[in-house]
Amino acid sequence: MRLLSRTTLKQARAAAGRVTDPELPMLTLADLGVLRDVDVVGDSHVVVDITPTYSGCPAMAAMRDDLVRELSGAGFDRVEVRVSLDPPWTTDWITAEGRAALAEAGISPPGPAPSSDGPIPLTLQPMARQVRCPQCDSPATELVSEFGSTACKAQYRCTSCLEPFDHVKEI
């Protein structure tokens, strides 16, 4: 029985691990750090914990539906998707594979997230980041806007090859 449940858990994790992010389809939810836990709690009953990137992330329902579809397809009769708010998502949870996939897709991966303990100091200058162009690898880039095509990205432009690109904001 023990061996069986371990195999089942492995299957559940593999199935959940295949689900990709609806807005960053080059990344799995696991690579994005949004998939927090997968557990088989009973006969054919799997519980998945996901966490939102931002409070208003509109993709949560699509993620849930995709997880239910994938796990049902893998033979699980009951799939429960729970929201985990604490600890809050941080870009530090994006895996090395995830960062490579982002860069490959022309999206600049985030640097280390700043500490968000204590009072958060006011920043009147544009965020100082070392961002390299994902197209030509030039370090000569400039911030266009802190708010990009989705809540989790900022807009940059490369002053060498002149291509605009998205950068995943550190939070």
Q: Would you tell me which residues interact with another protein (CB under 8 A)? A: 49, 52, 54-58, 60-61, 64, 81-89, 116, 118-120, 122-124, 126, 144-149, 151, 155, 169, 171
| Tokens at 145, concatenated | 């806007």
What is the maximum alpha-carbon separation in the chain?
A: 61
Least Å distance, CB 21 to another protein, is 17
- Report the residue number, 1 or 116, with the smaller CB distance to another protein: 116
Least Å distance, CB 120 to another protein, is 4
158 three-state secondary structure:
strand
- Report the residue number, 42 or 118, with the smaller CB distance to another protein: 118
CB of 88 closer than 8 Å to CB of 115: no
3-class DSSP string for 48-77:
EEECCCCCCCCCHHHHHHHHHHHHHHCCCC
Least Å distance, CB 107 to another protein, is 16
Least Å distance, CB 167 to another protein, is 14
